[in-house]
Amino acid sequence: MTNRPVGIRSLAVSFPSTIRTNDYWQNKFPDLFGGAKQKRARLSRKTTSISDNNGLGIWSQEVAPYLSDPFRGNVERRVLAPDESSLKLEYQAAKDALKAAKISPEEVDLMIVASLLSEQMGAGNAAYLARQLKLNAPAWNLESTCSSALVALQNAHALIQIGEYRNVLVVVSQIGSKSVDEQDTLSLSMGDGAGAFVVDRLKPNQGILGSKIIHTNATCEAYLHELVTDDQGKPRMRTRTGENANMLAETAVDSVRSCCQGALKAAGVSLEEIDFFAFNTPTAWYASVCTRALDINPERTINLYPRYANIGSVLPIANLYHAAQAGKISENDLVLVYTNGAAATAAAMVMRWGEVTLGKAPAPPISITEQDERIEQFGKGSISKEQSPATKSSSISREALFAAEPEKRQQMLEVYLLEWLVSSLQITLAEISLHHPLALLLDSLMAFELRRRIENDLGVLVPVERFFGENNIAKLTKLLLNQLALTNLVVSEPVVEVKEEEEREKISL
């Protein structure tokens, strides 16, 4: 196969006209947030050293400053107005990308479309978008959740390399606002948008140099998709957090390291040679996790999460677009792009940036400051106990519990759980009780962090469902006491004598 220089020739993004701030939820669902004020200040790093540098440790350290913020670092999102649709956003992005590349719709050889979710149940938007653009070329639907853009780029690159097509138009969109229940805290992070790019021949030595794609089957069931009907009786897909959501955190660091190192090796370049990194940023702390995982300077990347929230497969396109627009990427720079799609693929790609032209700029944010989009690595240095209460040392241990009188153990566990909730939520003891439903206090992120803390401190694993439903602190305490009693039985009951000729047996679960 001829090694042709193939890569991105033009980039465009398209967003809805409505910018939704946290005030929307505060005004519409005041009971959901208890009138909480939006917290915009980022925490500084002082005093207490933290050295845990494994995957889950990095994630937990970077997420800690956001646990007391009911909006989890969300500031603005672009959401569809009643007269807008994913198809409309895709059409605008595609038109802008073609115009920037100086290619007419008639000159397009192939279009690959990834719509999450499409306008209609069943097939994606490809054929509908081809009709609207009046293409003569074939149009395919492709889906790999948040990695769809990079998977499409890899396919386009390969097809042009073998001479099957001269150019490929790639269009992706995510409509998150319509796929979640507004009273579900998941809705706080969901934004809408579309992006497009033209893949074509570039100058010698430019374009895609190497890639690495892996499956993410460990995150299956991290999100659940259910068929429901809206107020007009029309069917739609609803997304909610699944019971396996903790695997998104547990695999995040390993995935970014595996993919990026693989792509660098395939490209024949080192991490130090990369001029700019574009990570997908589905949470406020994801860029910090990635930069720490690779041990790179945060100044070498960009974080648009405060501006757009989670826009899924559009994130890498938006990050590249804004980086190029801001002059962070120049022609012939080495760029590494990384994405991670739940229950799909994680992907990294190294490219030498070409003379990429940009579509028209989207509307600016209404309240975002430069400080909001600054990337800070909270766990790499140190964090003050006063500034990040979720990182405070545990007030209990297995040894202390087993050493205490049996009648005191329940009280010790109750105090332990109450202290963690008060510290992490920044509330007072008067605001919660032992019978307060945990579901009213914890979202999936907080439940995962509490579960991890219990596992680290007490050595017992709590099923994630025990943090939701009608469960409360009192019920959780009884569960922990039972779990601890069983594990203590395994350790403390030594040997049972049966007959001399029989082997000794250890009591085990």
Domains 6-207+221-383 and 393-492 share a fold: no
Q: Which of 56-65, 129-138, 444-453 has the lowest mean pLDDT?
A: 444-453
SS3 68: coil
Please give the angle made by the CA atoms of 101, 86 and 158, to the nearest 5 degrees.
45
pTM of the model: 0.82
Confidence of residue 384 (pLDDT cuts 50, 70, 90): very low
Which residue intervals of 268-345 are DSSP H helices?
A: 286-294, 305-308, 315-325
Confidence of residue 213 (pLDDT cuts 50, 70, 90): very high
- Say if CB 173 and CB 86 are below 8 A apart: yes
Confidence of residue 254 (pLDDT cuts 50, 70, 90): very high
Q: What sign does the CA torsion over 454, 458, 462, 467 have?
A: negative
Q: Which of 122, 96, 94 is nearest to 110 (CA)?
A: 94
Q: Which amino acid is located at 83 in the chain?
A: D
Half-sphere exposure for 13 (CA within 13 Å, toward CB): 27
Supply φ then ψ for residue 67, to 5 degrees.
Answer: -65, -30
Which residue intervals of 162-245 are DSSP H helices?
A: none
Beta carbons within 8 Å of 356's beta carbon, 6+ residues apart? 8, 9, 10, 11, 324, 329, 331
Q: Which of 161-170, 295-304, 416-425, 484-493 has the lowest mean pLDDT?
A: 484-493
Half-sphere exposure for 275 (CA within 13 Å, toward CB): 15
Confidence of residue 499 (pLDDT cuts 50, 70, 90): very low
> For the chain, what are the domain ranges?
6-207+221-383, 393-492
Q: According to the model, what pLDDT value does residue 235 have?
A: 82
- Say if CB 155 and CB 112 are below 8 A apart: yes
Q: Which of 46-55, 132-141, 276-285, 307-316 has the lowest mean pLDDT?
A: 46-55
- Say if CB 406 and CB 116 are below 8 A apart: no
The CATH number, out of the four listed (3.20.20.10, 3.40.47.10, 3.40.50.300, 3.10.690.10), of the domain defined by the range 6-207+221-383: 3.40.47.10
Q: What is the CATH number of domain 393-492?
A: 1.10.1200
